[in-house]
Amino acid sequence: MSLSQLEFASLGSGSKGNATLVCVGTTCIMVDCGFSMRETVLRLEQCGKQPEQISAILLTHEHTDHIKGAGALSRRYGIPLWSTRGTARAQALGDIGRHYFINAEEEFKIGQIFIQAYPVPHDAREPCQFTFSNGRQRLGLLTDVGKGTPHIVEQLTKCDALLLECNHDSEMLQNGDYPPSLKQRVASDLGHLSNQQAAEILSQLDTTNLKYIAAMHLSDKNNQSYLARQALSEVLNCEQSWVNIADQQTGLAWQQI
Ligand SMILES: [Zn+2]
Ligand SMILES: [Zn+2]
């Protein structure tokens, strides 16, 4: 039996909102929903999808840029939410119809998609990130994480595609106009990955199978896409243009692996 292809797209990525689509066959999962419901529906339309086609909303953690429209979209269209119990306790989600709890270490399946959750260091209640598979190819997602860990490296190694946070350039962050407390938070082990930290994680992965990579969650104040491209392409020893950038406005176009 031939397996359906693994397809993915981003509706937008950054501190003002995140949502990623991962689809296999007729199963289509929205990972995080950090835009208002109205904005999410508009962005879905631009991706050629209707809310009715979304099989599940899977949450990484409860920060507003990841859950803003999740509760409303789930209620309005009867889409079940999936998250850890810690994330589910976030007040901002409101009343949810169907909510499935996951364990941050568990492998589970939604429709045709195999999902492996893994915990990450980030300043939220019970944050986790995921790898997705159709049974053959694997897509690794890692954003909103303060530092790499051996466990993260183990999860992401040998992926066919990677969506990897490149939040900031350390120098731009230190010299920028964020208040000191925010600079400290972003740079901390529970904050976000710098381009250099992302490159370090990437350098520890087996990238033999890697056919696609995108830098995610770039700060509009403390980063530039060319810096993220530079950092990742140096590790992969590839053209800078081979590294894709998911931006806040347009996200990433559909990819198939
Ligand atoms: Zn975020
Ligand atoms: Zn976050």
Residue range 197-248, pLDDT digits in tens: 999 999 999 999 999 999 999 999 999 999 999 999 999 999 999 999 999 9
* φ, ψ (nearest 5 deg) of residue 132: -125, 145
Question: What ligand is nearest to the CA atom of residue 15?
Answer: 1
- The residue among 86, 138, 145 whose CA lies nearest residue 115 is 138
Distance 236 CA to ligand 2 centre (A): 27
Predicted local confidence at residue 146, as pLDDT: 98
Name the one residue in this structure whose structure tokens are 């859950």.
67
Predicted local confidence at residue 203, as pLDDT: 98
- Contact (Cβ atoms closer than 8 angstroms) between residue 157 and residue 163: no
pLDDT band at 185 (very low <50, low <70, confident <90, very high): very high
- The residue among 228, 251, 198 whose CA lies nearest residue 30 is 251
Predicted local confidence at residue 2, as pLDDT: 67
Distance 3 CA to ligand 2 centre (A): 33
Amino acid residing at 82: W
- Contact (Cβ atoms closer than 8 angstroms) between residue 191 and residue 237: no
Percent of the chain scoring above 90 in pLDDT:
94
Predicted local confidence at residue 184, as pLDDT: 96
For residue 186, pLDDT beyond 80: yes
Question: What ligand is nearest to the CA atom of residue 63?
Answer: 2
Percent of the chain scoring above 70 in pLDDT:
99
Predicted local confidence at residue 135, as pLDDT: 96
Question: What ligand is nearest to the CA atom of residue 145?
Answer: 2
Distance 75 CA to ligand 2 centre (A): 23
Average per-residue pLDDT in the chain? Answer: 96
- Strands of the chain (E only): list them: 6-12, 19-24, 27-31, 56-58, 81-84, 99-102, 107-110, 113-119, 128-133, 138-142, 161-165, 212-216, 244-245, 252-256
* φ, ψ (nearest 5 deg) of residue 198: -65, -40
Distance 130 CA to ligand 2 centre (A): 14
Predicted local confidence at residue 17, as pLDDT: 98
Distance 26 CA to ligand 1 centre (A): 28
